[in-house]
Structure 1
Amino acid sequence: MPQRFGRPGLLGTVARTAVISGTATAVSNRVNRRMSDREMNRQLSAQAQQQAQRDQAAAQAPAPPPPPAGTDRVDRLSALADLKAQGLLTDEEFATEKARILNS
């Protein structure tokens, strides 16, 4: 077959177009993947920064003061004694509830 010079034939044009198209697709995919990876890294970095700020704020926040030790128990025992005085509780029920309050 004689070698041809000049413009390529139909098959040469199709082959050249396929190579160019494949290269463009590969480059485009790589660019998109790199952009996606960068965005993911930015998001992870931002999340880590926010978590560090939350941890730091939590560490700096003062702990709430503990409730007074006996106030709640005293109130509950007083209410229990009132119920017993009104005759709504038996001695056994009173003793059971009193033990439960004192043990909590």
Structure 2
Amino acid sequence: MPIRRIGRPGLLGLAARTAVVAGTASAVSGGMANARQRRTQAEFEQQQYEAAQQQAQVDEAARNAAAQLATPPASAPASAPGAPAAPAGESIADQLQQLASLMQAGVLSADEFAAAKAKLLS
């Protein structure tokens, strides 16, 4: 019959207990780090999606603004046959100023501004 030890665990028991505690701690820590990383990745992807949606809205607004400036409104009253027409330079200058203000506001990109300007001047 083996002799049973009473009291504190021996060196082997202490090493085993330490290994179990350390292994549990590293597993819990790793699980928490993985969950934090997944949550951060999901938040990043959500922010990217929202930014893409906002950019699409801005692009659509810029296209609409450029289309409105490039084509004269259909509801504009026609001038009377005997009345002198307004100088074309003023309306083009006004439209160019509107385009410039849209570009400065960030609604139009430089390429869109250049395209709308070329269309106005042609």
Structures share fold, TM-score greater than 0.5: yes
Distance 2:24 2:120 in 1: 75
- Alignment-derived partner of residue 23 in structure 2: 22
- Alignment-derived partner of residue 57 in structure 1: 58
Q: Structure 2: which 5+ runs fail to align?
A: 71-115
Distance 1:42 1:4 in 2: 56
Deviation at 1:54, TM superposition (A): 0.4
Deviation at 1:68, TM superposition (A): 5.8
Q: Structure 1: which 5+ runs fail to align?
A: 72-104
What is the root-mean-square deviation in Å for CA atoms of aligned residues?
A: 1.8
Please say if 1:47 is aligned against 2:48: yes
Q: Letter of the aligned partner of 1:44 in structure 2?
A: E
Per the alignment, do residues 56 and 10 of structure 1 end up closer, same or farther by CA in structure 2, a change over 3 Å counting? same
Q: How big is each residue's C-alpha offset from its partner over 1:11-63, in whole Å with a ceiling of 9 and x where there is no partner?
A: 00000000000000000101111111111111111111101000011112223
Distance 1:5 1:63 in 2: 90
Larger radius of gyration: 1
Distance 1:4 1:36 in 2: 47
TM-score by length of structure 1 reads 0.60
Q: How big is each residue's C-alpha offset from its partner over 1:39-96, in whole Å with a ceiling of 9 and x where there is no partner?
A: 1111111111101000011112223526269x4xxxxxxxxxxxxxxxxxxxxxxxxx
SS at 2:4 equivalent:
coil
Q: Higher relative contact order at CA 8 Å, sep ≥6: structure 1 or structure 2? A: 2
TM-score by length of structure 2 reads 0.52
